Amino acid sequence: MRCFGDGDPLYEQYHDEEWGVPVRDERGLFERISLEAFQSGLAWITILRKREGFRRAFAGFDPGAVAAFGPKDVERLLADAEIVRNRAKIEATIANARATLALRETASPLEELVWSFAPPPRRARATTWGKIPSQTTESKALANALKAAGFRFVGPTTAYAAMQACGLVDDHLAGCIRIS
């Protein structure tokens, strides 16, 4: 059994091949953080179905390219039906790209900053989603660190979802096919 995604091939593939697999590169982390921000208030499957559209619209989530986006790009993105058209989330993604570039100049680039908040592994796996937290001490600290670095739309719940997606935490439920 899967933790989630049964019955939808796109969701199954995401569960089986990506969710919880460590992501340690800047572009991969920027993409996951961006998509988690866009997901806020929506079903994750909505984001998965639009993922290729997001990749096209946001230059493959290349932080350097996205950081160069200006007002005309925001208007272009607001007209793009292949993504979630939310001005605040679009502008946050551009701001987050600029913050990602700024982090390159520090002792803690994005990949180091994010992974510095990885918690120790849990002793036991949860048996239901109700036992999985929506945020943790570490996700609160990560959200605060990202905000201090200039990121937007990264509260503790969004940060925790990114931590799950990027493999900082392994929240596959007991009995999941991904557990060996």
The Cα 163–Cα 4 span in angstroms is: 17
The residue annotated as part of the active site, out of 14, 19, 115, 160, is 14
Q: How large is the greatest C-alpha to C-alpha distance in the chain, in angstroms?
A: 50
**144 pLDDT above the threshold of 90:** yes
The question of whether 14 is a catalytic residue gets the answer yes
The question of whether 129 is a catalytic residue gets the answer no
pLDDT digits (tens, 9 = 90+) for 21-69: 999 999 999 999 999 999 999 999 999 999 999 999 999 999 999 999 9
The residue annotated as part of the active site, out of 19, 26, 31, 36, is 36
Nearest in space to 133 (alpha carbons), one of 176, 163, 177: 163
Judged by phi (left if over 0) then psi (alpha if -120 to 50, else beta), residue 83 lies in beta
Residue 180 pLDDT: 55
pLDDT digits (tens, 9 = 90+) for 145-173: 999 999 999 999 999 999 999 999 999 99
Tracing tokens 């949860």 back to the chain, one arrives at 126
**90 pLDDT above the threshold of 70:** yes
On whether the 9-165 domain is CATH 3.30.1330.60, my answer is: no
The question of whether 160 is a catalytic residue gets the answer no
Residue 65 pLDDT: 98
What percentage of the chain exceeds 90 in pLDDT? 96
